[in-house]
Structure 1
Amino acid sequence: MLKEIEIQNFRCFEQIKISGFERVNLIGGKNNAGKTALLEAIFLNVVPGNTSLAILRYLRREPSKAIEAMPDRAWDNLFYLLKKERFIVIIGTDDNKNINKVEIKVEINSPDSSIIIAFMRNEDAFNGLLEIVPPRSLMRDRSSAIDEVPIIPSFIKISGRELTEAYDNARLDDKDSEVLKAFQILDPAIESVESFSIGEPTLYVRRKGEKRLPLSLFGDAMNRVAHIMLKLVINKHKILLVDEIENGIHHTSQREFWRVLFRLAVELDTQIFATTHSLEMLQAFADVGLEQNQECSSAYFELARKLKTNQIIGSRLDLETLNYALEHQEGVRGE
């Protein structure tokens, strides 16, 4: 389980070190405070494969044709203040003090602006080059890998086909019931979820006393919850990253949704990182984390910029401190 991360020269981070991660972690802060970039850095540290950078471009909706048009500048915005002459360095430390170090550099002098990803498992044992791949290859391979990554962006909606395939995988592992339980948090009248492959693979939902209907007719919240739950239960990386977790989920359902996530994080031995702008989601997180007999450890992290230097810092709040701040209306989202 990841306990600490140090990031250098990546996105909006010149240098930052955040410690004290728990089983479930919620991240807040103002706009452009680095919440999404932190999830991306964790992703690159956990999944440093040859398609990871291209996946981040896709999740940011960056045009792939920019690579062909300007190969020497296509990856500039990965680097702090576009300083691509320096390595991006992301160092993760787990609860056993094992260290994963990822270094990323664009070879500017290369004719195709190849990406070099170096990987180190501890501070003194360099294992050599993991990948050297041209950006065109990265973008070509991205589509086959996007379904398997443990990150859920705030705005990209998963397709019905992808959702149905993920549900069928969950069924093979006898974990499909978790999707139904999560749907019933949003709508207690839902009694079944089924997948059909007549024409386009589609998930169907049935409410009590009604005919089954495609999931797409039940609104974005159901699709979002299905995406989160399926990423969680079929996750081979043992980590889940969710940007703006509150999207689509009504405040009256948020506490019960956190209870499901806390329970599954323990049962599936999976670590969860999520960002939020929602005060209601923060309160629900604190309430559930402080419940008696709660077995899942959790913490809140706030990202903010220093007034004098504009550098981003990360502060850890345990749930008692978070709850006190919420009760006394103290700023806990970068205010």
Structure 2
Amino acid sequence: MSNLESITIHQFRGLRDLELKDLGRINLLVGINNSGKTSVLEALSIYCHPLDISVWLSTARQREQDIRARTPLIDALRWLFTNHTSFAVEPYKPIILISSTGLFPVKKLIASYEEMEGIRLSEGNNTRNISGTNDEEIGNDNEQEIETEDSPGVRKGIDLKIEILKDDHLLTLVGESPTFVEHFSLWEDEPLYRLSGTREPSLNTATVTPSSHRSAIGQFRLLSEARFQNFKSDVVKLLQQMDTNISDIEILLSPESISSQFNIYIQHEKLGLAPISTFGDGIRRLLHIALKLASVKGGILLIDELESTIHTEALQSSFQWLVKWCTEMDVQLFATTHSLEAVDALLEVTESDSDLVLYRLEPKEEKTRVVRHDGHRLRRLREELGQEVRW
């Protein structure tokens, strides 16, 4: 039995009653643009860390990694919710509702918020922090604080209510309630990054976005974890699928550098020791995926645009490595793709038909319809009939 056997996203962003049944080891999400593929990954990230407010905040900002003029953080959080629809569980009330089956003890997540107003007291030059909570995922810059007027006034915020229902079998034995409720008061003029929540219950997860490999923040920690898990040599083997001249990865301080900043270097037979920044996006993204995978043993890896930056000729060998290590490390993979070549490459490298499942998302007026193809059916549709399966 897997951590997640099925997941139903009743309400989240624009998703309505989206059900992913009989999940596999490798779960591929396809569909037209704006069908909700990325939203599914975001919903999973939050569901696996339901009481950790830092995950909520970083997920809310995840789509704005490369944008300088970003949405205020509380506004970004509001957009995670289903708003003002006659098909909502509670019409005209912003709500998130997700449920699942599987080994993960959280069985249902319900979240809602109410608008608040209060008095802003003068305390010198008040500042409002508009940064996220996870520098690795959403980036950071030097323009994080905006001065507010040095005078009393009205401030706005939201009261976020998060309720989870856990598997009550073990809880009943020890006399605990299976329902847990947390409230978070979020104000527009307070530094939200200082907020902390309960990290348990949680399921180890990591997210790879189309651009997250371009940030060096956090890479040192990920590479160190891979080294301690004796995983570094396999990371090198993955990179060799892109460039056979790569032989090692190291964290070094260049003797020629005028700063004290360390960097990740690749040992290359032709280039010698070269910083990772000098290589193309394909190498950097594969390294990022490999390091993320090493950090979520027994958990879930979420990859948006699986094929991004990987050359078509390297898809099969790269995916073969990825499928192998997801199995070895007991990781469930959820990935989006627009590429038919990526679908075919996964079919080639997946030995068991039960390991690969493709879900095609089809937004309808009242709900998001899902068409499910297991590995056996998918193989027949592609290899025997040559049918389009993405839309």
Cα pair 1:101 1:120 within 8 Å, conserved: yes
Cα pair 2:266 2:273 within 8 Å, conserved: yes
2:235 is aligned with 1:164: no
- Structure 2 stretches of 5 or more lacking a match? 86-91, 119-156, 170-176, 255-259
TM superposition shift of 1:38:
0.6
User: What secondary structure is seen at the aligned counterpart in 1 of 2:5?
Assistant: strand
Partners of 1:138 and 1:15 in 2: CA distance: 35
2:64 is aligned with 1:40: no
Task: Mark the structure with the bigger radius of gyration.
Answer: 2
- Structure 1 stretches of 5 or more lacking a match? none
TM superposition shift of 1:78:
1.4
Cα pair 1:5 1:19 within 8 Å, conserved: yes
Residues 153-193 of structure 1: per-residue CA shift (max 9 Å, x gap): 12334422422331122112221112101100111121111
Name the one with the larger helix percent: 1
Q: Which residue of 1 aligns with 2:376?
A: 320
Cα pair 2:245 2:268 within 8 Å, conserved: yes
2:320 is aligned with 1:263: no
Q: Map of 1:1-335 to 2, 5 A cutoff?
A: 1-48=3-50, 49-61=52-64, 66-67=72-73, 75-82=77-84, 85-94=93-102, 96=103, 99-109=106-116, 111=118, 112-122=157-167, 126-134=178-186, 139-141=192-194, 150-198=206-254, 199-235=260-296, 238-289=299-350, 291=351, 294=352, 297-306=355-364, 309=365, 311-327=367-383, 328-334=385-391
Partners of 1:236 and 1:319 in 2: CA distance: 24
TM-score, scaled to structure 2: 0.74
TM superposition shift of 1:50:
1.3
Cα pair 2:83 2:95 within 8 Å, conserved: no
Partners of 1:325 and 1:45 in 2: CA distance: 33
Residues 292-327 of structure 1: per-residue CA shift (max 9 Å, x gap): xx5982211111124xx3631112101222122223
TM-score, scaled to structure 1: 0.86
TM superposition shift of 1:274:
0.6
**Cα gap change, 1:98/1:65 in structure 2, threshold over 3 Å: closer, same or farther?**
closer
Structure 2 residue identity aligned to 1:120: L
Cα pair 1:105 1:115 within 8 Å, conserved: yes
Q: Structure 1 runs of 4+ off > 4 angstroms?
A: 62-65, 81-84, 96-99, 135-138
User: What secondary structure is seen at the aligned counterpart in 2 of 1:302?
Assistant: strand
Partners of 1:10 and 1:128 in 2: CA distance: 20
Partners of 1:149 and 1:138 in 2: CA distance: 25
Tell me whether 38-47 or 103-112 shows the greater mean CA deviation: 103-112
Structure 1 residue identity aligned to 2:16: E
**Cα gap change, 1:138/1:38 in structure 2, threshold over 3 Å: closer, same or farther?**
farther
Partners of 1:74 and 1:159 in 2: CA distance: 21
Partners of 1:220 and 1:305 in 2: CA distance: 32
Partners of 2:187 and 2:239 in 1: CA distance: 40
Residues 60-90 of structure 1: per-residue CA shift (max 9 Å, x gap): 21866624xxx5x553321234556143111
TM superposition shift of 1:214:
0.7
Cα pair 1:54 1:138 within 8 Å, conserved: no
Structure 1 residue identity aligned to 2:72: A
